[in-house]
Structure 1
Amino acid sequence: MILKLAAQGLSGRKIAERPEIQVSYSSVNRFLKDRRRERAEATKDIVRGHLAATLPTDLEMLDKLTRRLEVMRQDAEQMGLAGFNMEMQVIDRQVKTIGLKLKYSGADEDDSAQRLIEALSGDD
């Protein structure tokens, strides 16, 4: 009943004031807080599972980007500055995306992976 009322947008105080609810305001708030925490943990588990499943592909992409970046640096004078800058922006966004995935999967706790990400994104 409390969850249904909360889903309708009622605050904990408004729910506790309802005559059919026989618990205090603090009990309603504690109940809602516990349910939010449970749902947040379930959501985090789903996200972590997805991140773990895609991590091998992301690491392969990071290796490819690293190799591409090295080629770009070697060919920078021949490519021209505009083409180089645009491609660098694309690679930078890809590296940052992979870095975020590594961070939220917990895989960036290895400082060597973190140093590589920082070096590629230019944040060192």
Structure 2
Amino acid sequence: MTTKYTPDHEWINIEDHDAAVVGITHHAQDALGDVVFVDLPEVGKTFAKGDVAGVVESVKAAADIYMPVSGEIVEVNEELRNQPDLANSDPLGNGWFFKVRITNMAEFDDLMDPPAYDALLKAE
């Protein structure tokens, strides 16, 4: 299992060869506060790296969810639609947003590893 991070505070985790799981980091959910709504992408839709794939709304603000890599959405977390607070209580687990079939693995390889992401957080 390999987890990488974006400068926009999304994480992506390759579980198997078919799809990677995407969510927001602890830092992102802390900054947002209590999540009250998520707008998830449509299964089957294709996005380029950096495209807005969804929105997360909290009591403080709304934030776009950016695609960390190019690919096709193969699954969304329906449980998160019904319980958006999972993004707060378990952002790296049950609070995942969607699964994507990566079309360009070089984009994944270019993302930050955990030490690089930690360095980004310390610099902010």
Larger gyration radius, structure 1 or structure 2: 1
Structure with the larger RCO, 1 or 2 (CA within 8 Å, 6+ apart) = 2
TM-score normalized by the length of structure 1: 0.21
TM-score normalized by the length of structure 2: 0.21
- In terms of fraction of residues, the more helix-rich structure is 1
